[in-house]
Chain A
Amino acid sequence: AQSVTQPDIHITVSEGASLELRCNYSYGATPYLFWYVQSPGQGLQLLLKYFSGDTLVQGIKGFEAEFKRSQSSFNLRKPSVHWSDAAEYFCAVSGGYQKVTFGIGTKLQVIP
C-alpha cells in the first residue's frame, strides 16, 4: 500500500527566510509525486509534480522539489518565503495518475 509521511504538522518561518517541507513516501514501484497547496477555505492547487526524468522539479510560485529515491523523499523548498505562502501544504503519491494518497499536511505560518 502506498503512504505518505509529512513529519512536520506546523512550521513557522520568517518572511524572506528559506523553507523546506519534508515528505517521505512508501510505494513499491516508481511513484508519481505531487505537492499541493490549500489556502484557507480554498481547493487544492498543484505546485509541482514528479513523474520521471530530472529529479529536481520546478513548480509554480518559486517552489521546487527534489526526488531522492534512496531516501524515499520528495522535499519541497523555496529560497525566500512570502507572506502569501502561508497555507497548508500536502505531499501526495500516486501509482499512475490514478487515486492519490495524501500526507497529513504541513501548515505553514509566515511571520513578518
Chain B
Amino acid sequence: GAVVSQHPSWVICKSGTSVKIECRSLDFQATTMFWYRQFPKQSLMLMATSNEGSKATYEQGVEKDKFLINHASLTLSTLTVTSAHPEDSSFYICSATGGVEKLFFGSGTQLSVL
C-alpha cells in the first residue's frame, strides 16, 4: 500500500483563493519532504525542500510567499498555494524521505484554477 498519502487528488478553485495540499508519510518518519511541480507535457521540477521544524528551502524562481510550505511534524508537510491564479494550475507532487532507501512519492494533486 501507499506509504505517502497526498490529499486532495484533485482540486478546482476560483482565482484569488488559497488551496492547501497535504503530504503524509504513513509508516515512517520523514526527515525531509520535497515538493515538485509538473507543467503539462513537461517533467517534474523541484519547488522546495522542507525539513521538520525549519523553514523550507526554495529552488530558484519559486516564490516562497506564493507557495507556503509547512513541515510541522515528521509525518506531515503542507503546501499552500496562496491567491491562486490560472497560471498556478499544475500537477503538484510530494515525496518523503526517511533515510537510505526510504524515498517515496505521493500520488499527486491536480490543481485547476478557474
Contacts and interface: CB of A to CB of B under 8 A. Distances in A.
Given A90-B44, A104-B42, A97 B103 contact: yes
A94 interface: yes
B32 A90 contact: no
A109 B104 CA distance: 26
A17 interface: no
A102 interface: yes
B93 interface: yes
A43 B107 contact: yes
Contacts of B36: 102
B interface bracket (residues with beta carbon within 8 Å of A): 20 to 34
B110 A41 contact: yes
- Do most interface residues of chain A lie in helix, strand or loop, or is the interface mixed? loop
A104 B108 CA distance: 18
Contacts of A96: 100
Contacts of B106: 43
Interface of B: 6, 32, 34, 36, 42-46, 49, 93, 95, 97, 99-108, 110
Contacts, number: 51
Interface in A2-38: 36
Contact of B108 (A43, A51, A101): A43
A102 B108 contact: no
Interface in A62-111: 90, 94, 96-105
Given A101-B46, A102-B44, A103-B43, A44 B101 contact: no
Contact of B105 (A43, A99, A103, A104): A43
A56 interface: no
A98 B34 CA distance: 8
Given A97-B97, A97-B100, A98-B97, A44 B105 contact: yes
B104 to A, nearest CB: 8
Contacts of A94: 103
B49 A102 contact: no
Contacts of A46: 104-105
A51 B44 CA distance: 21
Nearest to B104: A46
B102 to A, nearest CB: 7
